[in-house]
Amino acid sequence: MHWSQVEVGALARAASCAPSVHNSQPWVLEVAGDVLGLYERFDVSLPRHDPTGQDRVLSCGTALTNLDLAVRVLGWRPEVELLPSATRPDLVAEIGVADRRDALPAEIDHYSAIFQRSSYRSPFALHHVPPRVLRLLGDAAAGPGTEARLVQSRTEAAPLAQLLTHAGGVLRADRAYQRELTAWSAGFRHRPSKETTLPWSGLVRADTHLPDTVTLTERIAAESLLIVLTADDTRRDHLQAGAALERAWLAAIAAGLVGSVLTQPLHLPEVRAGLIEKLDLPGYPQAILRIGYPVTATPARATIPASAGKSK
């Protein structure tokens, strides 16, 4: 089979809506017959935010999840091969099609969520996310070598707050990072304010007020945070982490939630090592997804879709 122009347009649109580091969309999609090739753009460089390109690969992983869903909604069962070529390091994944299959209701829900997703960096509404919803998001993130670990109550909020406060201070004082952040946020329709650039959002500006550790501990304890972990720390792991992150985020949106992602503090070795030690993490932390209800939502409306239990 060959993808039609309309189908290629749908696939490209799904990929373009994936979250990416500084909204850089560091990938290229190529179509050859029935095979989709997802290529990393090495020319997209953020030397202060992402010196090793780890977040760039993570971003390609989020696009991969969107493409996988789009193929399913178009009526096919996808076959995904990661890093398939030893001679093309920029080829991060190939997606082929196996056979016809109707999309599951939850897959359709998550595909629809692709086009609703945006980063919510303000404080959440006060009502908590039910445990059953958090389990659903953890299940969505689980995959080969990936899992999502919930930050547990105040006992873990305190050490996390200490580490994020340290990271916030480092980032606020880093002039090169601030120049890079200013250049990126200039494209925002509404520039992030001091009130919304909270330390866990990864948008700490030179004029951002950093709360004291006690205050930040209270804020974190009132939220739901999922840490996306991988068994190892290779390029493949970063790609899988991005895919897992997007799966969890789309499941959250389908459940009436909003969220935002934090990766920048994890580039500081002392913060990453501190998280592994203080939270006794069973793997490498690649991203933190903070989720909750928007201030305009009510618990009655923000529930798990009826179709969610039918998916895998």
pLDDT in single tens digits along all 312 residues of the chain? 789 999 999 999 999 999 999 889 999 999 998 899 999 999 998 888 899 999 999 999 999 999 999 999 999 999 999 999 999 999 999 999 989 999 999 999 999 999 999 999 888 998 889 999 999 999 999 998 999 999 987 789 999 999 999 999 999 999 999 998 888 776 555 455 555 545 555 678 888 888 889 989 998 998 999 999 999 999 999 999 999 999 999 999 999 999 999 999 999 999 999 999 999 999 999 999 999 999 975 544 333 333 333 333
CB atoms within 10 A of CB 187: 9
pLDDT at 302: 34
pLDDT at 196: 53
Domain 5-114 classification at class level: alpha beta
pLDDT at 199: 55
pLDDT at 188: 56
| 131-310 fold | NADH Oxidase (3.40.109)
* Contact between 135 and 147 (Cβ < 8 Å): no
pLDDT at 193: 53
Q: Do domains 5-114 and 131-310 have the same CATH topology?
A: yes
pLDDT at 243: 98
Domain-wise residue ranges, the chain: 5-114, 131-310
pLDDT at 201: 58
pTM: 0.91
pLDDT at 310: 36
pLDDT at 16: 97
